[in-house]
Chains A and B, each alone.
Chain A
Amino acid sequence: MVRYGMVIDLNRCIGCRSCAVICKIHNSLPPGTWWHRVETVGSKEHQTPSGDYPNLTELYLPVPCMHCDNPPCVKVCPVGATWKREDGVVLVDFERCIGCRYCMTACPYGVRQFNWEDKDKAVEKGFKAAGFEGEYVEGYRHGYPIDHRTKDGRLVYTPKRPRGVVEKCTFCVQYIDKGLKPACVRGCPGNARIFGDLDDPNSEISKVLRDGAHTRLLEDLGTEPKVFYLLPMKRAERGEVRYSPELEVKL
């Protein structure tokens, strides 16, 4: 059985938010909704340093759904709308969700979002905030155009995005079920992401996790996230300039 997971390499992450944007476009998310966020740790403004001179840092942290192996959101769902699939992906059945939002309270990562309004309404509000006078041409909406259901028929992706349900990152279930990688992985210009089967010892993701120091968010909560972060290397560990012994003496 496969067990999907994702590695995000924080050395490689350049904070460009391409993952967040491609997620938004592919998953038909209107203004106001982000299933994936990238922020600069400790800074109010993205890509502005934290700390005091000369110890300034910018650490970018992308946060999708963690697809926990022990997902608190699943336990609290009174109707079984959110569940962990056999491949480890945590999904929401849009047709079963009653919008009680218990799962949002339960999720320690804040990645779940409630769909308060129709997509059109959200677009309208976004356009108003942007000061646009017009609309998209002829009712245009972006996003993967076709509904996706699991093998047992549960609706887990739809470009229509029904109101009154909770939604979140699905590891792009509409793609991974076709053998494709999630959009954020395909769309990362920093090559910072690896997606694959954690149970296959020969998969790239397993190898990387074996070799490199990594962490997970809020590990002490016991949620067992399947999104892993490769830790930023200490400066001393990289960029080591190798001098010839003769020159080193001189230095």
Chain B
Amino acid sequence: MKVSRRDFIKLSAATAFASGLGLGYFQKSRGVQQNAGEIKTVRSVCSPNCTGACGFDALVYNGRIETLTQAADYPEPEYNPRGCLRGQSMMNLIYGPDRLKRPLIRVGKRGEGKFKAVSWDEALDYVADRLADIMKRHGPESVAISIQVPGTGYVHKGAMMRLASMFGWSALHGYTMNGDLPAFWSQTFGVQTEEFESLEWTNSKYIAIFGSNIMVTRLPDAKFVNIAAERGAKVVVVDPNFSPTAAKADEWVQINPSTDSAFALAIAREIIENRLYDEEFIKTYTDMPLLVRMDTQKRLMAKEVKELEEIAGKLNVPEYRDVFVVYDVNEGFKPVNPETLERDFEPAIEGEFEVELVDGKRVKVKPVFQLLKEEVQKYTPEKVAEIITPPNRNKGEYVDMIKRLAFEMATVKPLHIIYGASNYQWYHGDLKGRALALIVALTGNLGKSGAGISTYAGQFKIRWPLGAWWSFKGRKNKWVTYLLWMNKEYRQSEEFKKYNRETPYPKNDVKAFLFGWNNPFDQHNMANRMIEYAENGDLELIVAIDFQMTTSCKWADVVLPGVAWYEKYELTATILHPYVQLQQPAIEPLFECMPEIWIFKELAKRLVQKWNDEELKSSISEFYPDPELFDEEERARKDGTWSFRLARNIAHKASLKAVELMLKTGGELVEGITLEKLLKGPVRLNLPTPNKRQIPFWEQINLKKPFPPQSYPVPLQKTARFVKSGRIEFYKEEDVFIDLGETLPVHKDPFVDTEYRLNPEAKRKYRYFYITRNALYRVHSTHSNNITMLELQDFRPRVWLHPITAKENGIAEGDLVEVYNDRGRVYGYAVLDEGLHPSVIIFEQGWWSRYLRGTSYNSLTFPWIKPTHIVYFVPGIWEPTTAWNEVACAVRKVEV
């Protein structure tokens, strides 16, 4: 399809009409204003890293965005309007004082913020020279890139991945870098993550929210909790702290921090004890009927069983599957076909059996359910009340509450559990997730409308195969795990050597770091160490791509000015609402800012000249999806007609070509979705469910397809090996799970394996939990410098503490306080909050260092690595994930 620039303008005007703005919007008001310029509206997509991807109409007047209004053009009227205060005031960033204007090269010390403005040619040549040198000395894999969340921009973020693939650079996966990957998903279901679209919330009759502040963190979707409640659903919030979400719930249950697994296991125990579980469901879809050997703690495989050896030999299953065994109540030991969930056996789920192995040895075996039943016996309501009840609360009431909630969750269907990121971003987050998943599995609440478990963080899940654009001629980039980069000590530890089988690390460490859409020097665990690498020269080159001068840009050697989402064409497809959408340029990029696809193309073009790879050299014009576009710009350079406008227009065209390429090669999920349709408005993905609704595991539960569904972009065999039985697995048999006593979901207290192991003194010195929650006024660190958001916060950061905590530390409301530990510190003004847990101190994440006396609030964090996370390595799906909240701290008043 060929689309001219003029056509776009026509189409975007059509979009505006379709979105209900109507002709009136374009009419000048009656009267005096004579010099009124052209008014137009352009529909684009607001897409910072909140996963909202909300459609917005930009009103453009005299070439500037004057207002932003939610487009409200989603086909399901319930979704309208999507968007919030941050998106509505985005112009404060686009036209704000921190807007980048020209490429910059550092002239002062790193972090000092002294730069000289240079031409694009100078900046790009400089970066290419330095990169080529580092690649030659340390190998191309020592160049690391970060694109943060892919869902917010398949074209331009894809262009950076495309560049990385050309030379085999290492990519950091945002999902684990940000701690947004809840590891229980891969361990239990074999997937990256799953979640309902928010419209499905209204089909639940019971919504149990464990440590998620949806009313703030999922702002455009929050209303669906209220609508569900209006329709008769019960909403329960389990959280150490009262929150806006708790305020809207029927019930708020305050528990001690990071004790959700104990709570969930008590609920599971009540369900099992009272036989409230869905027996048909657990026999059909889970590993609960499978037998486990008591001698090895491994699952019994059919090929090990004497009487099944022959049948097992004949079964033809893929290498990523294993044939396990059940004890059929009529036929005895029987192999289980891992390639289907159609059940041809009637398993005993309780009891102990003896089986003769091929070598004649007789061993005892038990079904997983039996083991689970034995394990959860430890979690009686009385014992769990000891763990979860906050200080000064009545434990007896908690015992009753556990019993009551267990009964409600077991019997009111559909049940939806929301497991919040602030809850899983702990060292034992995977255990909590496995325990919560147990509740929905035992009660058969999966794969149905309104029934399931969801986690809502990150926009990482790729919705369909993107390889045609994301990799250059089929080349592959490498990967580097962020926490391994930050945690040198762990890389050299015995534990790592013992358990790591696949996780790669660049031979010569990370030497160059290029990042876009990202503010790692403020915003990442642990910011201090990143700064250390910058200061001591471990990092030889730091390149930032952004449209604003962030803290991280200040740490860079070179800053390349990119654009905001009203200045380019881009494709978005985020997780929460299953729409494919197009960003469209409402305005020309300001100053010398350039669409990122152009920046990466130019870097690629310069790098191939300095790198010995003839194939790359000869095919470089293919960096743009249409080589003719590449050549067109080169011709203009030669004949002296090159201009920013020309290069941008070509970049816009190339962006649209990339969109078309990804749609054309994306397979059935995007079949029939065309650029033309996207120019008219959002289009729903072709999900294989009724009404194309996002209902996790619908195919597994309703069509009996084995677990897992595919997690793009990796091939199925990479993730299917996580759940070799083809079932939902609560029993993990890899050695590290056996060694840690985590074959089944269990509860482990916070800090014991982390802070107190690192420094036993911490228990005495740092008595509080340092929780960094998401703020209403920022999307992570985006909008930290939005004047309107700042005004709503009186221009100052806050530290929330319980009045008891304040009293203990001699702090009064409004005092300037310092929260600290051995690693770092953060400053804010005290807010006394009766709804907090007394051992919790809250700081709202995302403040740039310049508002915090130059410190990063992430200087207190630590890059903990849990060894269960290095059993496999599939980038962003099974790898170590950041545990932001596993931080002990103290607080004191700052004398001013």
Q: What are 9 of the A-B contact pairs (CB < 8 Å)?
A: A16-B215, A18-B85, A21-B85, A25-B67, A53-B835, A127-B97, A132-B787, A178-B27, A190-B222
Assuming the A-B contacts A140-B95, A142-B66, are A17 and B29 also in contact, with contact meaning beta carbons closer than 8 angstroms in the complex?
Answer: no
Q: Which residues of B contact A (CB under 8 A)?
A: 21-22, 24-25, 27-33, 36-37, 39, 59, 61-62, 64-70, 72, 81-85, 88-89, 91-92, 95-99, 205-206, 215-216, 219-220, 222-223, 226-227, 229-230, 232-235, 242, 244, 246-248, 250, 252, 254, 407-408, 411-412, 590-591, 776, 785, 787-788, 790-792, 795, 798, 800, 813, 831, 833-835, 850-851
Expressed in whole angstroms, the Cα–Cα distance for A177 and B33 within the complex equals 17
B635 to chain A, nearest CB (A): 33
Interface pair A148/B72, CB less than 8 Å apart: no
When chains A and B are docked, how far (Å) is the Cα of A240 from the Cα of B776? 30
Which A residues from 155 to 211 make CB contacts under 8 A with B?
174, 177-180, 183, 186-192
| Closest partner residue, chain B, to A55 (CB atom) | B834
Give Cα distance in the complex from A130 to B787, angstroms: 7
A239 touches B234 (CB 8 A): yes
Classify the secondary structure of B's interface with A: mixed
A54 to B237, CA, bound (A): 14
Would A17 and B32 be within 8 Å (CB), given that A31-B787, A186-B69, A239-B229 are in contact?
no
Q: Is A118 among interface residues, defined by CB-CB distance under 8 A?
A: no
With a CB–CB cut-off of 8 A, which chain A residues contact B220? 189
- Which residues of the partner chain A approach B790 to less than 8 Å between Cβ atoms? 129-130
CB distance from A175 to the nearest CB of B (A): 8
Q: Looking at the complex, which one of B28, B97, B244, B412 makes contact with A136 (CB distance below 8 Å)?
A: B97
The secondary structure that dominates the A interface is loop
CB-CB < 8 A to A127: which residues of B?
A: 97, 787
Evaluate contact between A189 and B82: CB separation under 8 angstroms: yes
- Complex CA gap A51/B835 in Å reads 9
A52 vs B803: C-alpha distance when bound (angstroms): 11
Other contacts beyond A49-B835, A186-B69: 14, CB < 8 A: A14-B223, A15-B215, A16-B222, A25-B68, A26-B69, A48-B800, A127-B787, A136-B95, A145-B62, A178-B27, A186-B72, A189-B81, A189-B82, A189-B220
The reply to whether B223 and A190 form a contact with Cβ atoms under 8 Å apart is: yes
Asked if A149 contacts B776 (CB within 8 A), the reply is: no
Cβ-neighbour of A137 out of B27, B62, B590 (below 8 A): B590
A47-B244, A189-B223 known; A143 vs B66 contact (CB < 8 Å) = yes
Task: Provide the bound-state CA to CA distance between A243 and B246, in Å.
Answer: 23
Contact B70 A189 (CB under 8 A): yes
Count residues of A near B (Cβ-Cβ below 8 Å).
74
Which residues of B sit under 8 angstroms from A186, Cβ to Cβ? Answer: 69-70, 72, 81
Contact A137 B99 (CB under 8 A): yes
A235 within 8 A of B: yes
Q: Which residue of B lies closest to A140 (CB)?
A: B95
Q: A12-B226, A188-B81 are in contact. Are A130 and B785 (CB under 8 A)?
A: yes
| Cβ-defined contact, A126 with B776, below 8 A | no
User: Is residue A146 contacting chain B, with contact meaning CB distance below 8 A?
Assistant: yes
Q: Is the CB–CB distance between A16 and B84 below 8 Å?
A: yes
A31–B792 CA distance with the chains assembled, in angstroms: 10
| Least CB separation from A246: chain B residue | B411
Contact B69 A48 (CB under 8 A): no
Bound form: Cα–Cα A22–B83 in Å: 11
CB proximity of A46 to chain B, nearest CB, Å: 8
The closest CB in chain A to the CB of B404 belongs to A251
Contact of B91 with A179 in the complex, beta carbons under 8 Å: no
* Min C-beta distance of A61 to chain B, whole Å: 13
Give the contacts of A120-141 with B (CB-CB under 8 A).
Answer: 126-127, 129-137, 140
CA distance A46 to B800 in the complex (A): 12
A180 touches B21 (CB 8 A): yes
A69 contacts partner chain B, Cβ-Cβ < 8 Å: no
* A243 CA / B792 CA spacing, docked (Å): 44
Contact in complex: A21, B244 (CB < 8 Å): no
Judging by beta carbons under 8 Å apart, are A129 and B27 in contact? no
Residue of A12, A136, A140, A179 near B223 (CB, 8 A) is: A12
Tally inter-chain residue pairs, CB-CB below 8 A. Answer: 225
A24 and B70 CA atoms in complex are apart in Å by 15
User: Could you tell me the distance between the alpha carbons of A26 and B68 in the complex, rounded to whole angstroms?
Assistant: 8
Contact of A85 with B by CB under 8 A: no
The answer on a CB contact under 8 Å between B412 and A241 is: yes
Query: Does B791 contact A126, Cβ atoms closer than 8 Å?
Result: yes
Residue A86 CB within 8 A of the other chain:
no
- Interface of chain A residues 218 through 235 with chain B (CB within 8 A): 235
Is A87 an interface residue when CB atoms closer than 8 A count as contact?
no
CB pair B250–A25 under 8 Å, yes or no, is no
The answer to whether A187 touches B88 (Cβ under 8 A) is yes
A235 to B237, CA, bound (A): 14
Cβ–Cβ < 8 Å partners of A140 in chain B:
64, 91, 95
Residue of B nearest to A23 (CB): B88
Nearest 5 pairs between A and B by C-beta?
A134-B97, A178-B24, A58-B247, A239-B250, A21-B85
The smallest C-beta distance from A167 to any residue of chain B, in angstroms, reads 17
Cβ A187 vs Cβ B70 within 8 A: yes
Q: In the bound complex, do residue B29 and residue A25 qualify as a contact, i.e. CB atoms below 8 Å apart?
A: no
Say whether, besides A132-B97, A235-B250, A187 and B83 are in contact (CB < 8 Å). Answer: yes
Contact A22 B85 (CB under 8 A): yes
Binary contact readout A34-62 vs B (1 if CB under 8 angstroms, 0 otherwise):
00000000001111110111101111000
Q: Are B834 and A25 in contact (CB under 8 A)?
A: no
Q: How far is the CA of A148 from the CA of B554 in the complex (A)?
A: 44
In angstroms, Cα B227 to Cα A93, docked, is 41
With A12-B226, A126-B791, A148-B29 known to touch, is A48 a contact of B81 (CB < 8 Å)? no
Shortest distance between the CB of A10 and any CB in chain B (Å) = 11
Q: B831 — which chain A residues lie within 8 A by C-beta?
A: 44-45, 48
* A129 and B790 alpha carbons, distance in the complex (Å): 9
Closest to B70 in A: A187
Shortest C-beta distance, A183 to chain B (Å), equals 7
Q: How far is the CB of B518 from chain A (nearest CB, A)?
A: 22
Q: Are B33 and A146 in contact (CB under 8 A)?
A: yes
- A191 near B250 (CB under 8 angstroms)? no
Interchain CB contact under 8 A, A137 and B70 = no
Chain A residues with CB under 8 Å of B84's CB are: 16, 18, 189
Return the chain B residue nearest A149 by Cβ: B31
B850: A residues at CB distance < 8 A: 131
CB of A227, distance to nearest CB on chain B (Å):
20
Known: A51-B834, A183-B69. A241 touches B223 (CB 8 A): no
